[in-house]
Structure 1
Amino acid sequence: MSDGTFEAFRRAEALLARRQPLDAIRALEPVLEHEPNTPSVQLLAARAYFASAQLNRAEAAFRRVVELDPTDHYARFGLGKTLHRQGRLHDAVRQLRIAVAMLPSPDYQEALNEVRARIAVENSN
């Protein structure tokens, strides 16, 4: 990553941390052009897309990270959360179960339990 690209990446991270996902996406555009196969770049884009409710783009970026690094538990978690927000509950459970298996974090387990509970409610109706 060149110095300019790295600075743009850091700027996008800071904007996302300040809850400015649309500005983060704009800052990240040149980085995505130069580093489309870098997992950290795709992951930051996915997080910004998710935070700005661009769920199709978030899904594509999270899937790209999983493609590039199948062991990235956070990408699986983010993909599961994205699928959940899209109402694709069974697909969400699949990704969240993988994330929990990779890293049994309370956040991951809570997300998995939330989707399972929603499925149970929908099945009881």
Structure 2
Amino acid sequence: MTTEGTVEAFRRAEELLTQRRPLEALRVIQPVLDVDADKPSVQLLLGRAYFFSAQLLRAERAFLRVLEFDPSDHYARLVLGRTLQRQGRLNEARAQIRLAAMMCPSPAYQEALGEINAHIATRDM
């Protein structure tokens, strides 16, 4: 696949995810993985496609791979936390979301942290 074809496939996969069509995005991104699997942006897109198609263990692996490349990627930590949350691994999820919120104190991250804290509090009652 040419560089141009790789970029086009990547963009098409992003578009498909925006349209909430993760399984199609996974098919489109496959040739990109053959060429650029070690790029954090590719792994992040792959993780999002897995997340939206409820392939949570695969999503977790992709997000962890992003964090191997760049431990300071706050968005990867947030979506890893959300992935862990969907698996019921609330304490692990909280740790990741807390780190994300410290790295990027946006209202959305604070809201995610509040949500997971509420889930943990109700679970422990």
Tell me the TM-score range normalised by the shorter chain: over 0.9
Computed over aligned residues only, the root mean square deviation of the Cα atoms, in angstroms, reads 1.0
For normalisation by structure 1, the TM-score amounts to 0.96
Aligned to 1:99: 100
Query: Aligned-pair distance for 1:105?
Result: 1.2
Quote the Cα distance in structure 1 between the aligned partners of 2:30 and 2:121. 40
Amino acid at match of 1:13: E
Q: Distance in 1 between matches of 2:105 and 2:34?
A: 34
Q: Number of aligned pairs?
A: 124
* Structure 2: segments with no counterpart, 5+ residues: none
C-alpha separation in 1, matches of 2:38 and 2:110: 29
Name the % identity.
Answer: 60
User: Could you tell me which residue of structure 2 aligns to residue 66 of structure 1?
Assistant: 67
Q: CA deviation at 1:26?
A: 0.5
Alignment correspondent of 1:27: 28
The 3-state SS of whatever aligns with 2:67 is helix
* Matches of 1:16 and 1:26, distance apart in 2: 12
- Regions of 4+ moved over 4 Å: none
**1:67 Cα offset (Å):** 0.7
CA separation in 2, counterparts of 1:76 and 1:59? 10
Distance 2:29 2:62 in 1: 13
1:47-66 equivalence runs, <5 A? 47-66=48-67
